[in-house]
Amino acid sequence: MAKKIVPVLMLTALAALCLAGGEAVPADSGAEIPAGEKYVALTFDDGPRRGTTDRLLDGLQERGAKATFFLIGQQIEDNADLVTRMAEEGHQIGNHTWSHQRLDGVRPDLAAQEVRQTEEALEALLGGGEYWLRPPYGQVSEGASFRVPLVKWCVDPRDWESRNTEKVTRAILDNVEPGSIILLHDIYPTSVDAALKVVDRLQEEGYWFVTVEELLWLNGVTPEAGHMYRTGRG
């Protein structure tokens, strides 16, 4: 396990260094990335939720796996301890609007307020930073502008529909490949179980679980505000 944790932390530190410099990753930094490694990003929407998110965090910690959480703003205050823990344990934290509001087909000022209110809650708890956005239902209005990168997904096991651990696990394992961004919801016990089974299985196959930000960096992609990322390759 330790063998896996150390290099990821090193890469995270390198990524942080590059991001802090505000510059693109230098072309020759590819030498730092182990060739042929398989990286994948688990993403969790609609939390945090006590009873499921904390169990997921325990499981990810045991396995040395990082993930990305897109939080609903109005659930942050009551679960502040869980959100702080996510940050402390190296997970990426993002924005899923204040009240799970669709961002397409609504007034631009309402959409902006839904995003801003969650940013403010995260800034109050964790400090300033960039909180990437996953729009509910993966949709935004055409022409809308955003100050952060947007994150969609390429593997969707529809965990909210089946709420069946085996089906969700199988749907992910059948469709995953290096660079995949996987959509799950940490508000369902079945999704937490499936996520941890997937981590166990794919780690055996040589996959490393990283945040979306790390996944892009490892693929040489420089994140841009307003761009919608579906895989680690862009």
As annotated, the active-site residues are: 45, 185
Cβ closer to Ni ion: 8 or 184?
184
What is d(CA 149, CA 193) in angstroms, rounded to the nearest whole number?
A: 29
| DSSP secondary structure letter of residue 202 | H
What is d(CA 18, CA 194) in angstroms, rounded to the nearest whole number?
A: 34
Which of these, 114, 158, 108, lies nearest to 135 by C-alpha position?
114
Cβ closer to Ni ion: 15 or 183?
183
Helix/strand/coil for 33: coil
What is d(CA 105, CA 74) in angstroms, rounded to the nearest whole number?
A: 22
Angle, vertex CA 96, rays to CA 148 and CA 60, nearest 5: 100
Cβ closer to Ni ion: 15 or 43?
43
What is d(CA 1, CA 64) in angstroms, rounded to the nearest whole number?
A: 7
What is d(CA 36, CA 206) in angstroms, rounded to the nearest whole number?
A: 10
Residues that bind Ni ion (CB under 5 A): 45-46, 136
H or E segment and range at residue 56:
helix 53-63
Cβ closer to Ni ion: 184 or 210?
184
The CA dihedral of 163, 63, 221, 84, to the nearest 10 degrees, is 80
- Minimum Å gap between C-beta 46 and Ni ion is 4
What is d(CA 175, CA 156) in angstroms, rounded to the nearest whole number?
A: 9
Cβ closer to Ni ion: 45 or 214?
45
